[in-house]
Amino acid sequence: MVPIETIETINRRLTDHYGSTNDMPNYRVVWSEDQFEFRSTNYTDEGLELLHFETRKLPKYRQWIMEKWVLERLSEVPAINQGELNLALSYEPLWVFEDKSGFPLDPKWIVCKFVVDQVHKNIEEAGSYTKYKDPYAGLNSKDLLEKKDEELKEIEKELFGDETAIGDALAYDYGVGFTTSKIKEN
């Protein structure tokens, strides 16, 4: 029988294989119930509503990932939240070790490696940290402006259609429409 890898072994392998940033591993496996984060809230622990928001240390996954192992990725905190949370880096969930019915599974190195490699492959194929490529990449500024103008006109047409006085009158039931059809008589 093959021994089950310990979490320490998996985390050491993740650090050895994918590195670290500011002495923090880029990827790690953690128990969901042990994770806390600073969040703005206007409720006390007892559920009473506060008059003003306050930043408090709260359970990170308790509402949606309960008693499961989680593969996390170290991510940059958006600039808008850095001042509020006083953090530049944060761990975000990448994979939950559960089966298709939601039952917990033991973490395995091979699964971690597969998930992380797939994320890296998607980033590499996109050419950046966005999933989708820019359809206007490589256009000069004149062509870009023309394409954007065409796109905006198409959006305007889809949103507003035929907004004329006649169209409005018919739409708001104060106009009358009349159609005819020519019928051949024999």
Q: Which tens digit of pLDDT belongs to each residue from 137-153? A: 777 888 888 888 888 88
Pairing between strand 69-76 and 89-96?
Answer: antiparallel
Per-residue pLDDT of 115-142, as tens digits, reads 999 998 888 777 665 555 666 777 788 8
67/90 Cα distance (integer angstroms): 21
Report the phi/psi class of residue 19: left, alpha or beta, with left for phi > 0 and alpha for psi in -120 to 50: left
- Residue 98: give the domain boundaries: 7-126
In a domain, 28, yes or no: yes
Number of domains in the chain: 1
Q: Cβ neighbours of residue 118 under 8 Å, at least 6 residues apart?
A: none
For residue 120, tell me if it sits in a domain: yes
Residue 161 tokens, joined? 């259609």
Please indicate, yes or no, if residue 153 is contained in any of the structural domains: no
**Quick check: is 50 in a domain?**
yes
Residue 43 belongs to a domain: yes
As a whole number of angstroms, the distance between CA 45 and CA 56 comes to 10
Bridge partners of 43, per DSSP, are 49
* Prediction pTM value: 0.61
Q: What does the pLDDT profile of the chain (186 residues) look like in tens digits?
A: 344 789 999 999 999 999 998 899 999 999 998 888 777 778 877 878 888 888 778 788 877 888 999 999 998 877 776 666 667 788 899 999 998 888 998 999 999 999 999 998 888 777 665 555 666 777 788 888 888 888 888 877 766 666 677 776 776 777 766 666 666 565
Kindly state whether residue 132 falls inside one of the protein's structural domains: no
**Alpha carbons 44 and 50: distance in angstroms, whole number:** 7
**Look-up: residue for tokens 């159609």?**
179
The answer to the question of residue 161 being in a domain is: no
| Cβ-count burial 53-80 (b if 16+ within 10 Å, e if not) | eeeeeeebbeeebeebbbbbbbeebeee
Phi, psi for 49 (deg, rounded to 5): -80, 135
Report the distance separating Cα 128 and Cα 66, nearest Å: 33
Whether 24 is in a domain gets the answer yes
